Amino acid sequence: MNIVACVKQVPDTEAQIKVKPDGSGIEEGGIKWVMNPYDEFGVEEALRLKEKNGGEVTIVCVGPARAMETIRTALAMGADKGIHISDPAFDGADAYTTASALAAAIKGIPHDIVFCGQRAIDDDSAQVGAVLAELLEIPQVTVVTKLEFAGNSVKVIRPIEGAQLLIECPFPCVVTAQKGLNEPRYASLPGIMKAKKKPVDVKDAGALGVSTDRKARVVRFVPPPARAAGKIICADDTPEGKAAELAKLLREEAKVI
């Protein structure tokens, strides 16, 4: 089976995000960069499919030079090879541009199933998997929490508001991974050593023959709206008094209950 897993390097969930004074982006100093947590679920599922059914896992990543570290992490987990799409022109790329680059790279290799994270926790756009599927002209199932290989297709669970769907999707297809799909492994020390020797093909936009034009652009980054300082409820300093005061405020002042 030919399996592709797309990964992105993002700031760690604990990272404080500071907007540059001119609003042109975020301050990258001091940020710890990690593999997007949802992509980790995709890589793990790719490895499990390979271990059960045989085949090869290729990691594809759009990102600057530092993103090589994330590709190596996936290789250390057990993936076989990587494609690193690295070009300064992709900085701040939107979903369409990113998916176009991924599609160009993936079209050149055999692919039965392509994993992506359901969203990246930096721009939170949650689009790349679906755009990629459209550009590859293959079906998609997004936000998947369970996957079962069924010969030439997969059967997956997709939670939606108030229900869960069991969906069958034939190969080739794109699957986007949600938390719950699996518990990603840590790279072993021998895995890390081996990863250093695994092949990673580095390509720029020219080599892929894709445009780097963005359709959507962040014209300005702004800090989140500040919330006015809240009220600490003291009342008569008993739990009962505080509880009564809180209920009254929510009813009469906030009018939310």
Residues 198-217 that bind other proteins (CB under 8 A): 214-217
Amino acid making up residue 45: E
Q: How far is the CB of 231 from other proteins (least distance, A)?
A: 5
Strand partners, 114: 4, 174
Cα(99)–Cα(216) distance, integer angstroms: 13
Stretch that binds other proteins, among 57-65, 66-74, 195-203, 240-248 (CB under 8 A): 240-248
What minimum distance in Å lies between the beta carbon of 43 and other proteins?
Answer: 16
Q: Of the listed pieces 58-66, 107-115, 195-203, 238-246, which binds other proteins according to CB under 8 A?
A: 238-246
- Could you tell me the smallest distance in angstroms from the CB atom of residue 84 to other proteins? 23
Cβ pair 38, 125 in contact under 8 A: no
First to last CA, the chain: 55
Select from 161, 186, 189, 197 the one that contacts other proteins (CB under 8 A): 161
Q: Is 180 in the site for other proteins (CB under 8 A)?
A: yes
Nearer CB in complex with other proteins: 57/120: 120
Report the DSSP beta bridge partners of residue 57.
3
The count of C-alpha atoms lying within 13 angstroms of the C-alpha of 238, restricted to the half-sphere facing its C-beta, is 4
Rounded distance, CA 129 to CA 185, Å? 23
Residue 152 binds to other proteins (criterion: CB under 8 A): no
Contact 158, 147 (CB under 8 A): no
Q: What residues numbered 61-90 form the site for other proteins, per CB under 8 A?
A: none
Q: For other proteins, which is the closer residue by CB, 68 or 130?
A: 130
Question: Taking the complex as a whole, how short is the minimal distance between the CB of residue 17 and other proteins, in angstroms?
Answer: 4
Q: Which residues from 4-43 bind other proteins, rule CB under 8 A? A: 11, 13-17, 19, 26, 37-38
Mode of pairing for the β-strands spanning 146-149 and 140-144:
unpaired
Q: Which is nearer to other proteins, 196 or 215 (by Cβ)? A: 215
Asked whether 103 and 205 are in contact (CB, 8 A), the reply is no
Q: By C-alpha distance, which of 79, 40, 37, 34 is closest to 59?
A: 79
Residues 88-147 that bind other proteins (CB under 8 A): 94-96, 99, 121-135, 138-143, 145
Question: Site size for other proteins, by CB under 8 A?
Answer: 85
Nearer residue to other proteins within complex by CB, 94 or 112:
94
Structure tokens at 38: 């949802």
Q: Scanning the structure block, which residue is given the tokens 């045989």?
A: 54
CB of 229 to other proteins, least distance (A): 8
Q: Do residues 179 and 144 make contact, with C-beta atoms less than 8 angstroms apart? A: no
3-state secondary structure of 58: strand
Q: Please identify which residue in 88, 110, 170, 199 interacts with other proteins, judged by CB under 8 A.
A: 170
